[in-house]
Chains A and B, each alone.
Chain A
């Protein structure tokens, strides 16, 4: 490969923090021989390799699939979640997007709801808790139903699919000036409210997911739409609007029967 000969040197300022209980700080590192073909995470791998050889503690960071589908990678690069490239997760950022000699500041995804575990890794389990509160449909097990048994109009299926693209990375929360999880939460409320399979539980889902979202330290929406601009899957705040409608309907019209009223 031709480009391997023009390697880059980069100055990095990386957030180092031993554990959640201590203060962290930005530490300067220099990496040489960075290939423009490397991904951002591979560049950190190279740095970690150097650190380990020197007997230093490598930088802890989250990653898994490294192909933009799992939502595990994070990092706030130069103040932007996932580096701020359109529809791109950190693992899909390539070093050719930077110039040799650049200084890059790398911090964790920050929010009240995402406490730092170590260095660049944060605890994003709040996202799982919101999901567990209603981001599912209750269905009988058995054979897979016929795909054509429930007709869904194409525009509706498309809208639901757009919302379903969420990989739960938390970039919306990290980029939101209010640390709100509204885009993530609403994507699931919206996706399932659009589909016939999700409709029966839609009111209960909206109530439970909003309630759980609010109780975990996420902020409120001020409609900055920073989340929409940052989302690596390009999810629109239209889904927040739909969740707002779903929640309003549910709050004023849904009543779950208690046991004494004959409910389950």
Chain B
């Protein structure tokens, strides 16, 4: 067992939670960069399309980045689901409802559900936008995809906006617990800082979840 310590790490309770924490924080970082990109919608069609075009023009590098992001998502989901299935088996089965709510919050108790909703959202999101209707436009003499139009068209439907806002609410819920939880999982809990980390986590959840939701509502109100 000693010689296979590294091996055991990837199967252990703590090792796998480290990985869920690291991938979770990477995803938190990805969401910030994604939101900053979305805010260019407010600047105008050209700014948004140019940004998207720049990303696509990265070519091979973009595929590497996308593959990395996909891997981070897969590791996060796979381990989080595995851990939670094990937890279902390990938990005590009480005859009356066990009263939680002293440590457990609605946010922490719903992590698997908000996570699953985010997964469904992710698939639909890619289908509707990245692999959605393709238009072309010309900015500064360069022909490029008019992803601005695809996006604004998508958000013209109240159903799309409603679902999007709901999903972002789930993202906020997920990260409101997840952000500080990841710090704890990685061993970064110090009495001097942990309270602040929690507050930053809540602010992160409100700003990022709220930011995405705001952009979608703005697009709906602006119209195509």
- Is B91 touching A256 in the complex (CB atoms < 8 A)? no
Quick check: which of A34-42, A50-58, A134-142, A236-244 contacts chain B, the rest being far away? Answer: A236-244
Cα distance, A80 to B191, chains bound together (Å): 26
Shortest A248–chain B CB gap in Å is: 6
- Is B13 touching A112 in the complex (CB atoms < 8 A)? no
- Name the B residues within 8 Å of A110 (CB-CB): 92-94
Cα distance, A113 to B87, chains bound together (Å): 12
- Is B5 touching A251 in the complex (CB atoms < 8 A)? yes
Cα distance, A26 to B94, chains bound together (Å): 11
- Name the B residues within 8 Å of A250 (CB-CB): 5
- Name the B residues within 8 Å of A80 (CB-CB): 98-99, 102
- Is B109 touching A79 in the complex (CB atoms < 8 A)? no
Q: Is A129 an interface residue (CB 8 A)?
A: no
Known: A79-B97, A218-B90. A226 touches B6 (CB 8 A): no
Quick check: which of A3-11, A63-71, A172-180, A194-202 contacts chain B, the rest being far away? Answer: A172-180
Q: Is B137 an interface residue (CB 8 A)?
A: no
- Is B100 touching A224 in the complex (CB atoms < 8 A)? yes
- Is B13 touching A180 in the complex (CB atoms < 8 A)? yes
Q: Is B134 an interface residue (CB 8 A)?
A: no
- Is A224 touching B87 in the complex (CB atoms < 8 A)? no
- Is A219 touching B2 in the complex (CB atoms < 8 A)? no
Q: Is A19 an interface residue (CB 8 A)?
A: no
Number of chain A interface residues as a range:
35 or more
Dominant secondary structure at the A interface: mixed
Cα distance, A256 to B104, chains bound together (Å): 39
Shortest A164–chain B CB gap in Å is: 18
Interface centre among A179, A211, A223 (most CB of B within 10 A): A223
Interface centre among A79, A213, A238, A244 (most CB of B within 10 A): A244
Shortest B193–chain A CB gap in Å is: 11
The 8 Å CB contact of B90, one of A13, A107, A219, A251, is: A219
Cα distance, A211 to B83, chains bound together (Å): 15
- Name the A residues within 8 Å of B174 (CB-CB): none
Q: Is A62 an interface residue (CB 8 A)?
A: no
- Is B95 touching A222 in the complex (CB atoms < 8 A)? no
- Is A177 touching B12 in the complex (CB atoms < 8 A)? no
Known: A107-B95, A220-B16, A226-B104. A113 touches B187 (CB 8 A): no
The residue in chain A whose Cβ has the minimal distance to the Cβ of B191 is: A238
Known: A109-B92, A112-B92. A224 touches B103 (CB 8 A): yes
- Is A113 touching B9 in the complex (CB atoms < 8 A)? no
The residue in chain B whose Cβ has the minimal distance to the Cβ of A238 is: B189
Q: Is B15 an interface residue (CB 8 A)?
A: yes
- Name the A residues within 8 Å of B91 (CB-CB): 111-112, 176-179, 219
Known: A251-B15, A256-B2, A258-B3. A26 touches B95 (CB 8 A): yes
Q: Is A227 an interface residue (CB 8 A)?
A: yes
Known: A79-B98, A219-B87, A258-B3. A230 touches B15 (CB 8 A): no
Q: Is A247 an interface residue (CB 8 A)?
A: yes
- Is A179 touching B92 in the complex (CB atoms < 8 A)? yes
Q: Is B185 an interface residue (CB 8 A)?
A: yes
Residues 81-136 of A at the B interface (beta carbon under 8 Å): 84, 105, 107, 109-114
- Is A248 touching B92 in the complex (CB atoms < 8 A)? no
- Name the B residues within 8 Å of A207 (CB-CB): 1-2, 5, 8
Cα distance, A251 to B11, chains bound together (Å): 12
- Name the B residues within 8 Å of A241 (CB-CB): 184, 187-190
- Name the A residues within 8 Å of B89 (CB-CB): 112, 217, 219
- Is B90 touching A223 in the complex (CB atoms < 8 A)? no
Cα distance, A229 to B181, chains bound together (Å): 16
- Name the A residues within 8 Å of B5 (CB-CB): 207, 250-252, 254-255
7 A/B residue pairs, CB under 8 Å, sorted by A: A79-B99, A112-B90, A178-B87, A214-B11, A223-B180, A223-B185, A224-B103
